[in-house]
Amino acid sequence: MRRVAVTGIGMVSPLGTGADKCWQAATSGRSGIRAITRFNVENFPVRIAGEVPDFDPLLFIEKKEVKKMDLFIQYAMAASTMAFEDSGFKVTEENAERVGVYIGAGIGGLPAIEHWYDVLKEKGPDRITPFFIPMVIINLASGQVSIKIGAKGPNSCAVTACATGTHSIGDAFRLIQSDVADVMVAGGTESTITPLCVAGFNAMKALSTRNNDPQAASRPFDKDRDGFVIGEGSGVLVLEEMESAKKRGAKIYAEIVGYGLNSDANHMTTPAPNGEGAARCMKMALKGSGLNPEDIGYINAHGTSTYYNDLYETMAIKTVFGEHAKKLAVSSTKGMTGHLLGAAGGIEAVFTALSLYNGVLPPTINYTTPDPECDLDYVPNTARELKVKAALSNSFGFGGTNGVLVFRRFE
């Protein structure tokens, strides 16, 4: 099997636009959760979210093209542009068919759907934009990126709820491993901070209602957590065949060495008891990586700040790692970003690669009251300087779908 390097990173998140800005905020323990500004929340029980604070699409997309893309596609274009520029890779006529794009979203163009449905009701069918359909289809994130960079290789997307970004990166990793492509732009994107989405998750009793203290609302593994916080953005990696990356002198953030995906086959929203499915997925990823459990020093946890996820992920880690679980550093960056749904695995893959590259582990913020049922080392509140050999990035989604990536420090 061919080896796969991470040679470029790009991110748009509630912490800002640009991987460097997001990394500095994350390692400083800053929260990106604020009051919702996108719509009137006066009658909503939930009035907080992780909105991107500083995004300008014109920095990444031609003005005439912006109106053809809903925000989730714009975020993917921005993160991909930054990642591709960071990689230094150039698409040519000779290599274009070996360069692909694999960027997914969990929900897709919900803001455009809500907006244009209102237009339809109020003004009739003749007032619908001809760009509506390509504005909302999830694979248009990959499609628009491929058009921009000229990538003529594999072009697809995963749509697997909160595991989307991880599955997209993992599937792209396997395409390079198996010699179908040499370079893949891969990750997740999402923007669904809308009345319908917030109301829907609220109806499930899934969201935090800590409206008066938004920056403390997302509190993974903390005893006083009361639900997750919706976030938005995009996280994208450039994956490249290792020998090619070395030959051209590329910066290598990390190596992807393992990938697991499976199903709980248990319940449409609740994880399998004791984290049984998550444990199997981590074991699968480790087996494919050729590493031993003791080689893993850090886990970027799914860590949603909900009771069952945090408990069952903790139990799954103990199942897989045994006594070594006590020596592992485990953190959830969702304390700072909220839960980016289909983009979560993308930005968390970027954070994991940067953790290995910089020798710094981002913290789990808002960890003030330990939960006796969640008793691992969650890197509480303050980043930790620590070089580790390898790390996992976990993502678990509705429908019982699980994804795990294994990253190894490049030396």
Return the percentage of the chain with pLDDT > 90, whole number.
Answer: 100
Q: How many domains does the chain have?
A: 2
Residue at a domain's end among 200, 217, 247: 247
Banded model confidence at residue 358, pLDDT cuts 50, 70, 90: very high
Query: Residues 36-76: pLDDT tens digits?
Result: 999 999 999 999 999 999 999 999 999 999 999 999 999 99
Regarding whether 265 and 243 lie in a shared domain, the answer is no
pTM above 0.75, yes or no: yes
CA distance 402 to 3: 23
Query: What pLDDT is attached to residue 181?
Result: 98
Q: Give buried/exposed letters for 61-85 (b at 16+ CB in 10 A, else e).
A: beeebeebbbbbbbbbbbbbbbbbe
Regarding whether 207 and 299 lie in a shared domain, the answer is no
Regarding whether 176 and 49 lie in a shared domain, the answer is yes
Regarding whether 216 and 77 lie in a shared domain, the answer is yes
Return the percentage of the chain with pLDDT > 70, whole number.
Answer: 100
Give the per-residue SS3 of 124-161.
Answer: CHHHCCCCHHHHHCCCHHHHHHHHHHCCCCCEECCCCH
Is there a domain that residue 349 lies in? yes
CA-based Rg of the chain, rounded to a whole angstrom? 20
Cβ 36 vs Cβ 193: under 8 Å: yes
State the CATH number of the domain containing residue 386.
3.40.47.10
Query: Residues 136-185: pLDDT tens digits?
Result: 999 999 999 999 999 999 999 999 999 999 999 999 999 999 999 999 99
Regarding whether 286 and 182 lie in a shared domain, the answer is no
DSSP string computed for 264-330: --S-SSSPPGGGHHHHHHHHHHHHHHT--GGGEEEEE----S-HHHHHHHHHHHHHHHGGGGGG-EE
Region 198-213: mean pLDDT is: 97
Regarding whether 204 and 313 lie in a shared domain, the answer is no
Query: What pLDDT is attached to residue 1?
Result: 86
Nearest partner of 23 among 309, 337, 328, judged by Cα: 337
Backbone angles phi, psi at 170, to 5 degrees: -65, -40
Residue at a domain's end among 199, 215, 247: 247
Annotated catalytic sites, by residue?
Answer: 162, 302, 339
Residue 402 pairs in a beta bridge with 262, 396
Banded model confidence at residue 403, pLDDT cuts 50, 70, 90: very high
Over the chain, what is the mean pLDDT? 98
Regarding whether 146 and 15 lie in a shared domain, the answer is yes
Residue at a domain's end among 202, 222, 247: 247
> Token pair of 252, please?
């290598």
Query: Residues 116-146: pLDDT tens digits?
Result: 999 999 999 999 999 999 999 999 999 999 9
Is there a domain that residue 49 lies in? yes
CA distance 30 to 52: 14
Regarding whether 184 and 266 lie in a shared domain, the answer is no
| Packing angle, helices 140-149 and 71-87, rounded to 10 | 40
Question: Hey, how many other C-beta atoms are within 10 angstroms of the C-beta on 323?
Answer: 9
Is there a domain that residue 315 lies in? yes
Domain span at residue 179 reads: 4-247
Is there a domain that residue 254 lies in? no
Query: What pLDDT is attached to residue 411?
Result: 87
Residues 6+ apart with CB under 8 A from 175: 100, 102, 154, 181, 184
Is there a domain that residue 252 lies in? no
| Packing angle, helices 307-321 and 276-289, rounded to 10 | 40
Regarding whether 240 and 307 lie in a shared domain, the answer is no
Query: Residues 302-345: pLDDT tens digits?
Result: 999 999 999 999 999 999 999 999 999 999 999 999 999 999 99
Regarding whether 279 and 155 lie in a shared domain, the answer is no
Query: Residues 229-271: pLDDT tens digits?
Result: 999 999 999 999 999 999 999 999 999 999 999 999 999 999 9
Is there a domain that residue 373 lies in? yes
CA distance 167 to 401: 10
Res 389 pLDDT > 90: yes
Res 280 pLDDT > 90: yes
CA distance 50 to 59: 21
Regarding whether 349 and 303 lie in a shared domain, the answer is yes
Residue 50 pairs in a beta bridge with 231
> Token pair of 58, please?
């014109």
Q: Is the dihedral of CA 48, 54, 60, 66 positive or negative?
A: positive
Cβ 301 vs Cβ 320: under 8 Å: no
Is there a domain that residue 255 lies in? no
Regarding whether 279 and 206 lie in a shared domain, the answer is no
CA distance 148 to 141: 11
Res 202 pLDDT > 90: yes
